[in-house]
Amino acid sequence: MNYRLTPDLAAMATLLTILYFLRKRHPQERVDLWISGLLFIFLEAIAHAFYSPKGPWHVSSHVVALDAYLAAGGIFLWAASKALFPRKQTLYYLFLNALPLFAVLTTYGLDVRTAAIYRVFIVCGLLVGAVSPFLLARTWKLGGAWWIVAAQICVWGSAWFFASNGMYRDTAYIPLFAVYLATAIVFQLSLPSRSLGKVAVVLGFTLWALVFLLHSWVTNHPQYIDIASQIWDMQKFLVTIGMLLVMLEHQVSSNEWYAFHDHLTGLPNRRRFEDLLVEALRRSERNHTRTALLMLDLNGFKQINDSYGHDAGDELLQRVAHNLRAAIRAPDTLARLGGDEFIVIVTDLPVDGPVDHIADNCVGRLSGALRKPVQINGNAVTVSGSIGVAVYPDDTTDEVFLRRLADQRMYQEKRQIPLIVQFEEK
């Protein structure tokens, strides 16, 4: 065993442990795939520690290392593709195309140096690579999928050339180069932009691909072996650290989102609403337009909670929020202030025309959305709402008073409307 690799193994194990505990605190399906891929990389590192050209574990460690690279690359590529392509079809495609590559890598790891055997597997790879994209093209919406077929032909054509000329190392490593380069490209497309973790992940897989591409050249130039060995280990940690950063960035982004949104309905919360209202009024002042503020409170919401329970009440709020969101215009804002209170900011209204007409138009759309029956525990439930309207700048130019005025008008209407909730048994 090469004990000089022990610190690298320990560092890799530490990073994997950190990733595992982060995953337990913040479960994400893609992180499970990342951990699975990194476990295969860790397996490769262990096999590499036992590898020596003339040692007793030469063949077995070589086979394990090469196949672990393939398994890790396939898992990472699937994880990266999930945001772009259907998961089941992508899995079928990767599995089918991995089989001939697995045969090539295993054959090379077993020190078989017969060109005819490699050619058989390469032909299988060409056939699978030519057929499988078209089988999945309709689902993937890839057009004719010709670009995938062209890439497959280039990879396997290169492997045929190297095998025919006795360059068996390149025969094995060029397809691995293609897998890891494809992984870098798909991660570039699928991970969020402006992400430091994305930079590390994409750079790591790009370096990995280049390591496979230049492996034979480095072997034939011993003066570069030491630096190549350092790079070989570096990209493993670069990818692992990048994935840790992506997880942390995702968590920070989620925390920021929840800080400004209601957990139940996904609508902007009171804190976010206050910022949006200030922005809307400033824009209205600059553009000389009106902004309407509509305060809405459901009638009979307590009756729903008493009749069906709080879970049903939560479900009702979610359905009502969905209907209200569909009733407002794209530039307008719907927020939940808490309980059964919602508020709408209607922006860019024209300054000409009576205020009452504008108010009636806005109220009519929201009232129509509330009248839609929602299914609660198998029953069709219809609720009503009290709506108060205040218009900037007609009613006031003060943001605080505008909210207070809309709230007062809403409660004035609420006192005049009987509490009615309709239940239709199914």
Tell me the pLDDT band of 424, cut-offs 50, 70 and 90. very low
Question: Average of pLDDT values for 50-67?
Answer: 80
Amino acid type, 124 = C
Amino acid type, 69 = Y
Residue where a domain stops, chosen among 208, 240, 259? 259
Question: Average of pLDDT values for 409-421?
Answer: 71
On whether residue 72 sits in a domain, the answer given is yes
Task: Tell me what pLDDT residue 419 has.
Answer: 47
Which has the minimum average pLDDT: 68-77, 175-184, 235-244, 318-327?
235-244
Q: Which residue do the tokens 């005025």 mark?
A: 405
Answer whether residue 345 shows pLDDT above 80.
yes
210 shares its domain with 339: no
CB 97 within 8 A of CB 132: yes
Question: Which of helix, strand or coil describes residue 45?
Answer: helix
Answer whether residue 81 shows pLDDT above 70.
yes
388 against 234, higher pLDDT: 388
For residues 291 and 96, give the distance between their C-alpha atoms in angstroms, rounded to a whole number. Answer: 58
Task: Give the predicted TM-score (pTM) of the model.
Answer: 0.69
CB 19 within 8 A of CB 31: yes
352 shares its domain with 391: yes
277 shares its domain with 243: no
On whether residue 264 sits in a domain, the answer given is no
193 shares its domain with 296: no
* 340 in active site: yes
| Contact partners, residue 390, CB within 8 Å, separation at least 6 | 292, 293, 295, 396, 402, 403, 405, 406, 409
For residues 193 and 389, give the distance between their C-alpha atoms in angstroms, rounded to a whole number. Answer: 40
DSSP string spanning 166-232?
A: T-HHHHHHHHHHHHHHHHHHHHHHHSPSS-HHHHHHHHHHHHHHHHHHTHHHHHT-GGGHHHHHHHH
Tell me the pLDDT band of 169, cut-offs 50, 70 and 90. very high
For residues 323 and 288, give the distance between their C-alpha atoms in angstroms, rounded to a whole number. Answer: 30
Beta bridge pairs of residue 423: 381
276 shares its domain with 255: no
CB 1 within 8 A of CB 230: no
60 shares its domain with 153: yes
For residue 185 the two structure tokens come to 């490209």
Answer whether residue 144 shows pLDDT above 70.
no
Q: Which residue do the tokens 């459901």 mark?
A: 298
248 shares its domain with 287: no
For residues 128 and 219, give the distance between their C-alpha atoms in angstroms, rounded to a whole number. Answer: 31
235 shares its domain with 297: no
On whether residue 144 sits in a domain, the answer given is yes
Nearest to 40 by CA among 7, 78, 2: 78
319 shares its domain with 225: no
Count: domains in the chain: 2
On whether residue 405 sits in a domain, the answer given is yes
Of the residues 297, 340, 395, 407, which is catalytic? 340
Beta bridge pairs of residue 48: none
On whether residue 213 sits in a domain, the answer given is yes
DSSP string spanning 323-350?
A: HHHHHS-TTSEEEEEETTEEEEEEEEE-
CB 397 within 8 A of CB 370: no
Query: Is 220 exposed, middle or buried (CB count within 10 Å of its CB: 0-12, 13-18, 19+)?
Result: exposed
165 shares its domain with 308: no
Answer whether residue 80 shows pLDDT above 60.
yes
Task: Tell me what pLDDT residue 134 has.
Answer: 63
Residue where a domain stops, chosen among 259, 293, 311? 259
Domain of 135 in residue numbering reads as 3-259
Which has the minimum average pLDDT: 34-38, 162-166, 366-370, 418-422?
418-422
Q: Which string of b and e fits 378-395 if b means at least 16 CB within 10 Å? A: ebebebbbbbbbbbbbeb
For residues 149 and 389, give the distance between their C-alpha atoms in angstroms, rounded to a whole number. Answer: 61
162 against 311, higher pLDDT: 162
Q: What integer best gives the mean pLDDT of the chain?
A: 84
Task: Tell me what pLDDT residue 110 has.
Answer: 92
Question: 315-328, pLDDT tens digit by residue?
Answer: 889 988 999 998 88
Question: 201-227, pLDDT tens digit by residue?
Answer: 999 999 999 989 988 887 777 777 777
On whether residue 29 sits in a domain, the answer given is yes
Specify whether the backbone of 42 is left (phi greater than 0), alpha (psi in -120 to 50) or beta: alpha
Nearest to 199 by CA among 234, 254, 243, 233: 243
Q: Which string of b and e fits 12-41 if b means at least 16 CB within 10 Å? A: beebbeebeebbeeeeeebbebbbebbbbb
Residue where a domain stops, chosen among 211, 236, 259? 259
CB 408 within 8 A of CB 325: no
131 shares its domain with 196: yes
Say which CATH number the domain at 281 has. 3.30.70.270
On whether residue 383 sits in a domain, the answer given is yes
Question: 82-129, pLDDT tens digit by residue?
Answer: 877 777 788 888 899 999 999 999 999 999 999 999 999 999 999 988
On whether residue 132 sits in a domain, the answer given is yes
For residues 71 and 359, give the distance between their C-alpha atoms in angstroms, rounded to a whole number. Answer: 62
CB 294 within 8 A of CB 406: yes
17 shares its domain with 109: yes
